Amino acid sequence: MRRFLRPGHDPVRERLKRDLFQFNKTVEHGFPHQPSALGYSPFLRLMAIGTRSGAIKLYGAPGVEFMGLHEENNTVMQIHFIPDQCQLVTLLDDNSLHLWTLKQHSGTSELREEHRFTLKGPPGSPPSATQITAVLPHSSREVLYLGTESGNIFVVELPSFRVLEDRTITSEAVQQRVPEEYCNRRSCELVEALREHPKNPDQILIGYSRGLIVLWDLQNNKVTHHFLGSQQLENLYWQRDGSKFISCHYDGSYTQWPVSSDNRQPEPLENTVPYGPFPCKAISKIYWQTTRNGLPYIIFQGGMPRASYGDRHSISVVHGSQQTAFDFTSRVIDFFIIFSSEPTAEFDDPSAMVVLAEEELVVIDLKTAGWPAVHPPYLASLHCSAITCSHHVSNIPLKLWERIISAGSKQNIHYSNMPWPIDGGTNIAPDPPQRDLLLTGHEDGTVRFWDASGVCLHLLYKLSTVRVFLTDADPNDNMNTPGEDEWPPLRKVGTFDPYSDDPRLGIQKIYLCKYSGYLAVAGTAGQVLVMELNDEDAEHVVDHAEADLLQDQEGYRWKGHEKLKTRDGPVRFEAGFQPFVLVQCQPPAVVTSLALHSEWKLVAFGTSHGFGLFDHQQKRLVFVKCTLHPSDQLALEGPLSRVKSLKKSLRQSFRRIRRSRVSSRKRRGGSGNASEVQEANAKFDQEALQEMELAPVQRKIEARSAEDSFTGFVRTLYFADTFLRDSSRHCPSLWAGTNGGTVYAFCLRVPPAERRMDEPVRAEQAKEIQLMHRAPVVGILVLDGRSTPLPEPLEVAHDLSKSPDMQGSHQLLVVSEEQFKVFTLPKVSSKLKLKLTALEGCRVRKVTVANFGSCKTDDYSENDLAVLTNLGDIQIISLPFLKLQIRYPCIRKEDVSGIASCVFTKYGQGFYLISPSEFERFSLSSKWLVEPRCIVDIPEVTSNNHVHNKSGMENAARKS
Amino acid sequence: EFRRFSLERSKPGKFEEFYGLLQHVHKIPNVDVLVGYTDIHGDLLPINNDDNYHKAVSTANPLLRIFIQRKEDADYSAFGTDTMTRKKNVLSNVLRPDNHKKKPHIVISMPQDFRPVSSIIDVDILPETHRRVRLYKYGTDKPLGFYIRDGSSVRVTPHGLEKVPGIFISRLVPGGLAQSTGLLAVNDEVLEVNGIEVSGKSLDQVTDMMIANSRNLIITVRPANQRNNVVRNSQTSGSSGQSTESSLPSSTPNILANFLQGEEESDEEDIIIEDSGEPQQIPKAAPTSESLESLTQIELLHESTQNGFLPSNEMNLNHSAGSISMEYEVQDPEHESLEEDETIIKL
């Protein structure tokens, strides 16, 4: 046993290991979890997104990505780019400011935190005195103006964050010339917005929460104009020429104010409640964009009638007589408009609106009639319906790739053709080495095909299995196209839709044969669909068969969900993967394993009751095998779905608690209150801890027995052409491994191609192996005479793999959660084993054969096992000698869903979910590495100082 | 010497007659011998009364393998669980006892009559405050029957006393193997599982390790009650005046490793059913000559105690009045010959 703990230190091997294996987390795909802030630099053409966990991510042209993490892991409240610089400032919810810089380092740009700073008041002052509410990076690039809850505005120097005390704008100074009757003690409380004058950098507009707005002259340190707003202020926006500005308010109104030298206390030009007259929600942010044709774009967030549409997350765009209220699927975090950044341009001429909602990014093309959405090349909402499984296919043949893309392009015709408007930086990464597909199965019965070759995970095609079934919700039911005179003119945008009509539709297993284009998917209600790629729309009947997995068992009642009802008659399918066979398992328990052999035209599937083999050429069930222990009532009744739903409801209630705690802390009203909440939280945590100590967790120590529950649960299925009966003749075989440590082997007789339709496929049980330790079997693999894993079906036929060695003797590798065991074939005798759990206390969660190439020479590569354990470690184990090569900590062991979601690729890469919406990509290979490599050059700064005003306009103190 | 002869399976007769027959067949009429047989698990078990004689005959399928040893140089350690899978050693002990110069054993009762369920091992190489307990789950239907929990213990470190996290036994299931041995108790701290330290491992990891080793679980504990510790020096212990023998081998730190390696070959035998439908144990490097067909597990120990026929050393164990310590001494690592000493330790 010890021999495994002390691997021989062969220096040659050690050196080779360095050339083969290397662990890197390379890039995060998908949409950031819990985004909390948005920023944009028209100068760099980069977008920044901050999250509640303190991450900050920058995106530009596809492939240009940067990521930073605040040490404190606090919520990012605001992000502001410094005009004309590769710098940005973030404000966290602990009131700290952080300066980040994009620096070039050995040919690529890197995002680094340079400085941090917390504003401190004089001793004894309340925390609200320095609680920052608004940030204005001045176009001089030398100072930041920091508006606070107390109404004072502090000035700090950049990049040192030194406070310039003599330049502080106190509320007393502002109040001096405010008319007596307007002025009360609280008019200067809380700075809501700070805006620099678009033409005159010496003037800044200051908006206070109670409605007072003043124009401050920085040169003379005094107020030049007073604007006596009567409504609680939300935000401000300058018009391009600086002659007017617009303010928006809590009551759902917005107001235009003139700025002229002759009137120091002007009256508003126009006061509008766009969705009045009934009480409306606040307008929290507004843009006024000028155009060549004279009609401005007025774009504002919120303002919906409180009673009837108060729950909508909307942004309205008004352009002349056109008005649309874009209705988002989740809360709007923030948005910005991309408009002409030419300093000499006379008009804004907005081109696109970029909206960061809580669950997705939506970009609207404002130049094309009808304002269509733009398909984002990154930041895909992986979780638009919850991900239930994933499947990775490496090295897709070009032909299949093109057909999938063509099927997908037909689904995307409603998107705008506009090139992606956020295009800063240059992607200098080499082209990905091969075409890779990541398939994700979702709760709503869809399978999404992602281009996973490079840094940008991009949706190619979406497949829905729903059409095969009759569901309660008619798909055409909820297409509520608003009538012409509908008011407000709401229009749904975005794809996030977490509510599944029917959880039984959920996809559980996917298998794609990249050579033949056959796809098998299996779902929650025991449905198994076999599909074929068709480039045209087609209407046909799906052949339907039932597999009764409880054949010999009598008198049991399935208490789980019913099987899905199928549509009678022909069904119309769009171009792409079209189902032609449906097998439904009876009882309709969730499908737990799936295997497809495209050469033999066979599909195998397993549930908690047993497994079956279906011939999809002859459309005939070959056999079923019940694996259920007669006394296993739990598995019979089908509690899996119940357990799952309980887990889900628990998770949701926890999420609710957390959300209410976070949101109560987040509202900034009175920091005293906030600290109270924090205290209460700390107390709550402590109580929870104490509770845990009172009832210590116990673990039962007991050997597994045949009577345990779910021993019949089929965990893995495997097709192999090997020596099952005797060492002279090999034959097709099907292998199945169960939760109870049993391996079944069936000998198959597949008729030769010319008689394939005439003779039936036959199967006969040849072997049954009961592992004495009874741990669940998670992987089965046959190694050929050269100890190489057998190739995939059709791989040899396509000349992509050497033929397996059928001369030497084959070996069988059985991987259980606890052990790796090599057996001889055809006489099964134990040859070699690695007892992982006994040695290390960890258990195998995922295992795959991966090919590792040397980064030094092109002519060396080897196959190893990539293993993920329940502790989140990744281990590489050699074949066929089962020696541990290397171990890397990868996922936190508490992150159960992350571990469950992990998929390995065939070339030593992997993906796992770090949140419901994000995949982390990692690499175990020194040779294959997909990571962002990009460069951001500082564009030429024109002598005209007006470039930066566009960025200045982004500096809204947002309210979320 | 080998003899082959047949018996009437339906009428095996009495043990006395069988014993006489053996003496006759081997032409050793006046020599006291120990009679043993290999049961279906490959264990060498004794035949010394009618009951286990009948059992042996009834389980013979079709061959009954019997080993006969001269009583004075008999090796009692040969009997018990896993003995046949350590066959090399057993055979060398049984068949060529003269190869070993051994001290004669002091036989107090007849531990050789039983299949062990638990033992204290490695007493010689462990600190007195620790106890290494082996639970033989193999061949019994009794549950292991205990629970573990997280806790903290105080350690002496260079920086003084420190509280460190540890794993403790939290509950013993009545009637379980753990409780019936009396060797483990609630609040005993678990230090090692099958030779691997648990410090730094989580409760779940330790749980998984124990379950993975459940067929042959060796746990090293620091008993909560330190008064029942094994005391090596017999002179200081003997309030009863019973002499205790304890041969101290010249300390071999790799004992456990060797022991485990031997174990590894034997602790589990996967069952394979070929297409004929007949279950077989997967053959090992040295397959037994007889094919073992039936897989029902019998609990010899259980029966004999229930029958009350035998003077029961097991009862002693149950009452914690005494415990068996087996010490393993490696004489020749090449041959991996093991020698066991039974030592009764007075509490």
Interchain pair B275, A701: CB under 8 A: no
* CB < 8 Å to A693, chain B: none
- Beta bridge pairs of residue A462: A448
Min Cα–Cα distance to chain A from B121, Å: 19
Taking only the tens place, the pLDDT of each residue in A777-803 is 999 999 998 889 998 888 887 777 778
| DSSP letter string, A104-118 | EETTEEEEEEEEEEE
Place B281 in a pLDDT band, splitting at 50, 70 and 90: low
Which residues in chain B touch residue A700, judged by CB atoms under 8 angstroms apart?
147, 207
CATH fit for domain B118-228, picks 3.90.850.10, 3.40.50.720, 2.30.42.10, 2.60.130.10: 2.30.42.10
Confidence class of residue B311 from pLDDT cuts 50, 70 and 90?
Answer: very low
- Range in A83-92, A174-183, A779-788, B228-237 the model is least confident about: B228-237
Q: Is B291 on the interface with A (CB under 8 A)?
A: no
Q: Which of B254, B273, B295 to mutate to test the interface with A (most CBs of A within 10 A)?
A: B273
Query: Using CB atoms, which residue from B137, B147, B208 is nearest to A698?
Result: B147
A579 or A795, which is more confident: A579
Asked if A770 and B270 come within 8 Å (Cβ–Cβ), the reply is yes
Nearest CA to CA, how far is A710 from chain B (Å)? 17
CATH code that applies to domain B1-84+107-114:
3.10.20.90
Which helix (DSSP H) or strand (DSSP E) does residue A681 occupy?
helix A671-694
The count of other CB atoms within 10 Å of the CB of residue A701 is: 27
Assign 3-state DSSP to chain B and report helix, strand, coil percentages, each to 5: 25, 25, 50
Q: What is the pLDDT of residues A147-199, one digit of tens each?
A: 999 889 999 998 899 999 889 998 888 887 777 777 665 677 889 999 999 98
CA distance A766 to chain B (A): 4
Sheet containing strand A446-451, strands side by side:
A387-393, A437-442, A446-451, A458-464
What DSSP string runs through A274-337? TT-SS-B--EEEEEEE--TTSPPEEEEEE--BHHHHTT-EEEEEEETTEEEEEEESS-EEEEEE
Contact call for B211 and A828, based on CB within 8 A: no
**B residues 206-245 closer than 8 Å to A (CB):** 206-215, 217
Angle CA A766–A772–A774, to nearest 5: 90
As a whole number of angstroms, the distance between CA A633 and CA A558 comes to: 10
Q: How many helices (H) and strands (E) does chain B have?
A: 9, 14
Rounded to whole angstroms, the Cα distance separating A614 from A583 reads 8
Q: Is the model more confident about A653 or about A754?
A: A754
**Per-residue pLDDT tens for A58-70?**
999 999 999 999 9
The minimal CB distance from B209 to the residues A823, A837, A870 is found for A837
Q: Which residues contact A352 (CB under 8 A, 6 or more apart)?
A: A337, A338, A363, A364, A365, A366, A367, A374, A418, A421
Mutation choice for B interface testing from A2, A689, A693, A699 by most B CBs within 10 A: A699
Looking at CA atoms only, how far is residue B310 from chain A in angstroms? 30
A516-531 average pLDDT score? 95
**A356: Cβ–Cβ under 8 A, 6 or more apart, which residues?**
A35, A38, A49, A332, A333, A334, A335
- Angle subtended at Cα A721 by Cα A719 and Cα A722, rounded to the nearest 5 degrees: 115
Find the CB nearest B207 among A1, A696, A701.
Answer: A701
Q: From the list B209, B260, B270, which residue is nearest A841 (CB)?
A: B209
Q: Tell me the domain boundaries of chain B.
A: 1-84+107-114, 118-228
pLDDT attached to residue A616: 94
The CA-atom distances, in angstroms, between B342 and each of A152, B89, B125 are: 87, 17, 16
In angstroms, the CA A790 to CA A735 distance is 14
3-state helix, strand, coil in chain A (%, to 5): 15, 40, 45
List the Cα angle B193/B197/B199 in 5-degree steps: 120
Which single residue is written with the structure tokens 């319906």?
A: A385
**Structure tokens, A289:** 């964009």
Mean pLDDT over each residue of chain A, to the nearest integer = 86
Q: How confident is the model at residue A731 (pLDDT cuts 50, 70, 90)?
A: very high
Bridge pairing between strands A270-272 and A283-289: unpaired
Residue A815 has pLDDT above 80, yes or no: yes
The distance between the two most distant Cα atoms of chain B, rounded to a whole number of Å, is 73
Q: How many CB pairs below 8 Å do chains A and B form together?
A: 129
Does B145 contact A at CB distance below 8 Å?
Answer: yes
**Residue B55 above 90 pLDDT?**
no
How far apart, in whole angstroms, are the C-alpha atoms of residue A173 and residue A182? Answer: 16
CA dist A207 and A163 (Å) reads: 22
Which residues of chain A lie closer than 8 angstroms to B211, CB-CB?
701-704, 837
Query: Tell me, what's the pLDDT at B303?
Result: 35
Q: How far apart are CA A160 and CA A149, in angstroms?
A: 23
| Burial (Cβ within 10 Å: 0-12, 13-18, ≥19) of residue A53 | middle
pLDDT at A185: 58
Q: Comparing A956 with A692, which gets the higher pLDDT?
A: A692
A510 vs A13, more confident: A510
In whole angstroms, give the CA distance from residue A816 to residue A839: 14
- For chain A, the structural domain boundaries read 387-411+435-471+501-626, 842-936
Give the tokens for residue A555.
């008198």
Give start and end residues of each alpha helix (H) in chain B: 15-25, 50-59, 87-95, 177-181, 203-212, 234-237, 255-266, 300-307, 313-318
Asked if A775 and B148 come within 8 Å (Cβ–Cβ), the reply is: no
CB-based contact A393:A437 (threshold 8 Å)? yes
* Contact at CB, B272 and A828, closer than 8 angstroms: yes
Hey, is the C-beta of B24 within 8 angstroms of any chain A C-beta? Answer: no
A401-415, A660-674, B275-289 — which one is most confidently predicted on average? Answer: A401-415
The dihedral region occupied by B276, where left means phi > 0, alpha psi between -120 and 50, and beta the remainder, is alpha
Interatomic CA distance for residues A392 and A381, integer angstroms: 18
Q: Minimal Cα distance from B212: which residue of A?
A: A838
ipTM, 2 decimals? 0.78
Listed residue (A226, A318, A214) closest to A263, CA to CA: A226
Q: Which of residues 158-197 of B touch A (CB under 8 A)?
A: 170-171, 178, 194-196
Of B151, B212, B274, the CB nearest to A773: B212
**Between A697, A766, A839, which is nearest B275 by CB?**
A766
Structure tokens at B40: 């279906």
Residue A659 distance to chain B (closest CA, Å): 30
CB-CB contact of A803 with A837 (8 Å): no
Mean pLDDT of A706-715: 83
Per-residue pLDDT reduced to its tens digit, A93-110: 999 999 999 998 888 999
Rg (CA), chain B: 21
Q: Cβ separation of A765 and B149 shorter than 8 Å? A: no
Q: B168: nearest CA in chain A? A: A698
Q: Which of A2, A772, A840 sits opposite B215 (nearest CB)?
A: A772
> Which pLDDT value is given to residue B232?
57
> Which stretch, A77-91, A666-680, A940-954, has highest mean pLDDT?
A77-91
The two tokens of residue A932 are 């962002």
SS3 A146: strand
d(CA A201, CA A692): 59
Q: Which residues of B touch A838 (CB under 8 A)?
A: 194, 196, 209, 212-213
Q: Which residues of A touch B272 (CB under 8 A)?
A: 767-770, 828
Nearest CA in chain A to B140: A703
CATH of the structural domain A387-411+435-471+501-626, one choice from 2.40.128.630, 2.30.110.10, 3.40.50.10320, 3.40.640.10: 2.40.128.630
Q: Which of B214, B215, B257 sits opposite A2 (nearest CB)?
A: B257
Q: Tell me: the pLDDT tens digits for A530-560?
A: 999 999 999 999 999 999 998 766 667 788 8
| Inter-chain residue contact A772 with B268, CB threshold 8 Å | yes
A703 vs B144, B202, B261: nearest CB: B144
What pLDDT shows up at residue A681?
58
Residue with the bigger pLDDT between A171 and B321: it is: A171
Distance of alpha carbon B321 from alpha carbon A869, whole angstroms: 44
